[in-house]
Structure 1
Amino acid sequence: MDRRCTSSRLRLMLTLHCLPQLSDVAELLATELVTNAVRHTKGPAALRVRYADGVLRIGAWDADPTPPAPPPRVAAVGAEQGRGLDLVRACADGWGWYPVATDSGKYVWCELGAA
């Protein structure tokens, strides 16, 4: 999955749906979710974006049913990784995950309000 292509498509989609104010944060969150799915699992991954009732939901599916590691309360100074879900938690209005079917992977999501 090419992250630059995904980012530009997400930005274009949000602009076409009159939500350009969400582009920067949505791009950051989508990148973090997809990066985690690719970096920490073996197998395919996919990004899904949905807008309904004033809420943008961004999610990443991967084939590994293992729950995501909880974000650290405080990232170590100088740490170059391990901050992805911490960024998601800090920038999104809500986030979570759920297993997909029996051993078919998981879906990690976050939400942004359009207001």
Structure 2
Amino acid sequence: MRTVSLSDTWAYALRLPHDPRAARVARMTVRSVLDSHDRHEVRDAVELLTSELVTNTYRHTSGPASLRLTALADGRLRVGVWDTHPCIPAPFGRPPHDHVPLALPDADGGRGLRLVQEYADFWGGVSLGDGVLDRRAGKLLWFETGR
């Protein structure tokens, strides 16, 4: 009798519409995937950071977004969020990464990307074009955590 061994590497992808509920759907998906792979130790941080990135796609773009959650061979997790806007925000610029200033205590926003700086081990972004000549318009922001 053969036994089946589950792979340490895997990837899940989710297409998200431009909808205010997209961040909630992304959080629920991340929680479910990480629970099913017994990755409880990083679940809360990954769920929070994913929610922040997906929220920003809704707030700052008018198109859909995509989420990709990948387990890498060395135990790290990589989360990528694609959206339709080509501009790379701080702290996802080229190294040395731009730093996001602290939000004012009474500000309604401005904390999400700062959380990425604080809780992710690595992060980055790449612009895929403005959509005029290239159908792959937008950007991909990513972070890694969990080693």
Show the counterpart of 1:54. Answer: 75
Instruction: Structure 1: state its 5+ residue gaps.
Output: none
Structure 2, gaps ≥5 residues long: 1-15, 17-21, 92-98, 132-136
Is residue 2:60 matched to residue 1:40? Answer: yes
Q: CA RMSD in A?
A: 1.7
CA displacement, residues 5-64 of structure 1 (integer Å, 9 cap, x when unaligned): 321221111111121111111110000010111111121111111111211111110011
Answering whether residue 75 of structure 2 is matched by residue 75 of structure 1, we say no
TM-score normalised over the length of structure 2: 0.70
Q: Distance in 1 between matches of 2:138 and 2:89?
A: 11
Question: What is the identity percentage for the equivalent residue pairs of Structure 1 and Structure 2?
Answer: 43
Question: Based on CA coordinates, which of the two structures has the bigger radius of gyration?
Answer: 2
* Number of the residue aligned with 1:106: 139
Counterpart residue type for residue 39 of structure 2:
L
Q: 2:117 aligns with which of 78, 85, 89?
A: 89
Deviation at 1:100, TM superposition (A): 2.1
Answering whether residue 48 of structure 2 is matched by residue 28 of structure 1, we say yes
Alignment coverage as a number of residue pairs: 114
